[in-house]
């Protein structure tokens, strides 16, 4: 079949209108009858009326004495009134039916019992005092709930009290999910090792099923289909003929030679939208077949999420006759300029945290397949279709993916990457589950720039001054522009070469990097590791241009280690803990001091104080030492103040 090139992509708002206006959504799901006690979270299919009143009799609202109010008129401290029990007054408990002829209850605290047959009152009662009249709460025959009402916990109680034991509700939307791809391996069939090259774990169906449940739907995950037109066609036809109210076809919606979703959709029904001008999420296909919505979701997880978020979730809420939820928003300032592509609306996932009087938005990885950019995101920045990005310092609106107060409890860290920062965040959360850490791995110099600009609470740095051999201090004087700060040592750590097990190329020295056949993976310019490497290259007179891969950059030690382990490079400079984590050999080059630069105006911030207290924790120090390559003896010490 011919490749399906996107020639008629629609803007997001237009695509949503085209899809959501094509169905009478509540009529798609039908009606079912449920026991009222099981109806929480469901939606009424018709008006619900009370079968009986509540209470169904005049009931005592207090523990005390039931009597006729008229019999008590004139009672006072000066003229106490005595009444005979069982003929003029009756002892009752809360909820008891009032005896015939009575219309008031006097609280037991206001009753003086003279003996077993007599009580005395020193104040009159008034009619219906402390009495719950018949129908006080519910009157038989009254409308309790209108149709298309979302049933909440108080509603369940009210219905039961009104004698409604069963009620008709809208059926939950059933969503058939069909994964496609000849390269798929079901996640449950994978062994202890990653699948071999060319095979992909099939987890999108679990992801989509979870999203369906979160929107009140009922997912039905069908077996994966290979990339064969007839196989996919038959699976879609079977799903359309089933009880499913919507069918999702995952992957195969793009323009590859094995992408059949569009062709199948055209065969069984009508294509409403072929591609949307969003990123990620462009290869979204929206259609209609057999009177049901048929959606082709992109294969990359984040793209699939955008498709779900913008089209499928609203449809599921509308099927349940509910308005789709609207996220809360917050004004934020990006941590740096964010470039974007004209002609596409971008959904950029961000960390959020309040620093001073602004909320800082730090972008996460942008790839359509980086599911962790969703699991770690606090919010979304939507960059418009006519914009080429957001300027540094601009104030823009972000959509919240977490509660607003979580943003207020987030410690914002920018600077050099170290695996202990993730460990630190975990130990801080153990001490106080409300605390969160947003860590942006931008390199030591960029971290200092962020501190100077007031865009973080602190930053990690390990910058070697080649003239003095001293760490960090000269750079702080240069970058912080006089802003008072303290350097707190996190640890001394070993930096060196990470190589494949057995060191097959025999790398032992800086000069070996320039040997023929050796490919380097480097850290980004401005990182402390890059500065350290350049220092040692200069010491030995090695020209960086002579090193293959010198310009191949990664932003973390773990990313460098992964490249070496996966064969993307033969050697990379990083810390021993990263090499150990991925089973690489390690050739030591230097021991360096890794510090946390903390501005003094944040020193007393509760989030910073929690970090400093964690540095003093024996459990945390022991956990860092066990990573390997760290000397924790100076941890928490103030190395410099200025």
Question: What is the per-residue pLDDT across 169-189, written as a single tens digit (0 to 9) for each?
Answer: 999 999 999 999 888 877 777
| Res 255 pLDDT > 70 | no
Q: Does 1 have pLDDT greater than 60?
A: no
Flag whether pLDDT at 195 surpasses 90.
no
Q: Calculate ∠ Cα 265-269-271, nearest 5°.
A: 60
Domains and CATH numbers, the chain: 12-26+173-319 (3.40.980.10), 31-54+136-170 (3.90.105.10), 59-132 (2.170.190.11), 329-408 (2.40.340.10), 446-641 (3.40.190.290)
pLDDT tens string 35-83:
999 999 999 999 999 999 999 999 999 999 999 999 999 999 999 999 9
**What is the average pLDDT score of the chain?**
93
Helix (H) or strand (E) holding 441: strand 436-441
- Tell me which of 307 and 184 has the higher pLDDT: 307
Average pLDDT of the residues in 583-587? 95
Q: Report yes or no: 627 and 493 within 8 Å, Cβ to Cβ.
A: no
Q: Which residues contact 5 (CB under 8 A, 6 or more apart)?
A: 255
pTM over 0.75: yes
Least confident of 365-374, 554-563, 609-618: 365-374
Size of the chain, expressed as the number of residues it contains? 642
Percentage above 70 pLDDT, the chain? 98
Hey, how many other C-beta atoms are within 10 angstroms of the C-beta on 546?
A: 12
379-388 pLDDT tens trace: 999 999 999 8
Q: Token pair for residue 289? A: 């077949």
Q: What's the pLDDT score for residue 114? A: 93
Mean pLDDT of 586-608: 96
Whether the Cβ atoms of residue 105 and residue 152 lie closer than 8 Å to each other:
no
Which band of pLDDT confidence, cut at 50, 70 and 90, is reported for residue 204? very high
Q: What is the per-residue pLDDT for 183?
A: 82
Task: Reply yes or no: is the peptide bond before residue 73 cis, omega within 30 of 0.
Answer: no
Q: pLDDT tens digits for 339-350?
A: 898 889 999 999
Give the 3-state secondary structure of 245-303.
CEEEEECCCCCCCCCCHHHHHHHHCEEEEECECEECCCCCEEEEECCEEEEEECCCHHH
- Reply yes or no on whether the pLDDT at 105 is more than 60: yes
Answer whether 75's CB lies under 8 Å from 108's CB. no
Residue 529 carries which DSSP code? H
**pLDDT score of 175:** 98
Q: Which of 584, 628, 193, 608 is nearest to 419 (CA)?
A: 628
Six-digit token string for 379: 């919010």
Query: Which is nearest to 413 in space by CA: 368, 351, 325?
Result: 351
Residue 257 pLDDT more than 60? Answer: no
Q: What is the token pair recorded at 504?
A: 């097959």
How far apart CA 144 and CA 56 sit, in angstroms, is: 16
Highest mean pLDDT (candidates 180-184, 366-370, 431-435): 431-435
Residue owning tokens 């860290």 = 413
Angle made by CA atoms 382, 387, 392, in degrees to the nearest 5: 80
Residue 51 φ/ψ region, left for φ over 0, alpha for ψ in the -120 to 50 degree band, beta for the rest: alpha
| Contact present, 311 and 45 (Cβ < 8 Å) | no
* DSSP string covering 56-93: SS-EESSSEEEE-GGGGTT--SSS-EEEEBTTTEEEE-
CA distance 512 to 547: 9
pLDDT band at 481 (very low <50, low <70, confident <90, very high): confident
In degrees and rounded to multiples of 5, residue 521 shows phi and psi of -115, 125
Considering the chain, what percentage of its residues have pLDDT values greater than 90? 85
The model's confidence at residue 516, banded by pLDDT at 50, 70 and 90, is confident
* 7 pLDDT more than 80: no
| pLDDT at residue 253, as a whole number | 62
First to last CA, the chain: 68
Which pLDDT does position 5 carry in this prediction? 53
Spatial separation of the C-alpha atoms in residues 87 and 125, rounded to whole Å: 17
Q: Is the pLDDT score of 6 beyond 60?
A: no
Residue 228's φ and ψ, nearest 5 degrees, are -135, 125
> Does the pLDDT at position 148 exceed 90?
yes
Tell me the average pLDDT across 536-557.
Answer: 93
């Amino acid at each position: 079949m011919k490749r399906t090139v996107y020639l008629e992509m629609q803007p997001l708002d237009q695509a949503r209108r085209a899809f959501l206006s094509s169905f009478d959504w509540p009529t798609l799901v039908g009606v079912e009858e449920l026991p009222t006690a099981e109806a929480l979270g469901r939606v009424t299919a018709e008006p619900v009326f009370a079968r009986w009143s509540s209470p169904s009799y005049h009931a005592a609202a207090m523990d005390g004495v039931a009597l006729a109010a008229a019999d008590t008129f004139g009672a006072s401290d000066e003229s106490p009134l005595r009444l005979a029990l069982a003929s003029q007054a009756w002892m009752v408990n809360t909820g008891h039916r009032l005896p015939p002829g009575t219309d008031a209850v006097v609280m037991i605290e206001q009753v003086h019992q003279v003996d077993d047959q007599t009580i005395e009152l020193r104040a009159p009662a008034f009619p219906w005092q402390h009495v719950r009249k018949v129908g006080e709460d519910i009157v038989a025959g009254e409308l309790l709930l209108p149709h298309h009402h979302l049933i909440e916990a108080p509603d369940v109680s009210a219905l039961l009290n009104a004698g409604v034991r069963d009620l008709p509700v809208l059926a939950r939307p059933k969503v058939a999910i069909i994964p496609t791809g000849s390269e798929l391996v079901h996640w449950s069939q994978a062994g202890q090792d990653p699948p071999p090259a060319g095979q992909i774990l099939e987890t999108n169906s679990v992801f989509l099923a979870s999203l369906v449940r979160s929107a009140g739907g009922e997912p039905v995950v069908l077996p994966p289909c290979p990339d064969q037109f007839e196989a996919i066609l038959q699976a879609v036809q079977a799903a359309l003929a089933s009880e499913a109210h919507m069918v999702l076809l995952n992957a195969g919606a793009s323009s590859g030679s094995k992408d059949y979703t569009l062709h199948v959709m055209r065969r069984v029904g009508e294509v409403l939208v072929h591609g949307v001008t969003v990123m990620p999420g462009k290869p979204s296909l929206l259609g209609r077949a057999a009177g049901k919505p048929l959606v082709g979701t992109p294969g990359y997880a984040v793209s699939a999420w955008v498709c779900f978020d913008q089209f499928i979730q609203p449809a599921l809420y509308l099927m349940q006759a509910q308005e789709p939820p609207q996220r809360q928003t917050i004004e934020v300032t990006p941590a740096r300029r964010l470039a974007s592509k004209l002609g596409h609306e971008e959904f950029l996932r961000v960390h959020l945290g309040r620093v001073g009087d602004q909320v800082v938005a730090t972008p996460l990885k942008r790839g359509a397949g980086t599911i962790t950019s969703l699991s770690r995101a606090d919010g979304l920045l939507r960059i418009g279709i006519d914009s080429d990005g957001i300027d540094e310092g601009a104030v823009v609106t972000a959509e919240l993916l977490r509660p607003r107060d979580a943003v207020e409890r987030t410690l914002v860290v920018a600077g050099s990457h170290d695996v202990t920062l993730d460990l630190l965040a975990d130990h801080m959360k153990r001490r106080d589950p409300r605390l969160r850490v947003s860590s942006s791995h931008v390199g030591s110099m960029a971290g200092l720039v962020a501190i100077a600009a007031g865009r973080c609470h602190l930053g990690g740095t390990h910058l070697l001054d080649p003239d003095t051999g001293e760490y960090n201090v000269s750079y702080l004087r240069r970058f912080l522009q006089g802003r008072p700060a303290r350097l707190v040592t996190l640890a001394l750590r070993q930096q060196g070469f990470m190589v494949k097990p057995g060191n097959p190329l025999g790398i032992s020295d800086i000069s070996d990097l320039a040997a023929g056949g050796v490919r380097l993976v480097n850290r980004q310019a401005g990182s402390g590791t890059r500065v350290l490497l350049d220092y040692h290259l200069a010491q030995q007179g090695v020209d960086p241009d002579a090193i293959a891969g010198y310009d191949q950059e990664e932003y973390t030690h773990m990313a460098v280690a992964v490249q070496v382990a996966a064969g993307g490079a033969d050697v990379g400079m990083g810390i021993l803990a990263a090499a150990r984590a991925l089973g690489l050999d390690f050739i030591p080059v230097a021991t360096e001091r890794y510090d946390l630069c903390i501005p003094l105006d944040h020193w007393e911030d509760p989030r910073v104080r929690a970090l400093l207290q964690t540095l003093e924790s024996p459990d945390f120090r022991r956990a860092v030492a066990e990573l390997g390559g760290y000397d924790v003896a100076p941890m928490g010490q103030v190395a410099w103040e200025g």
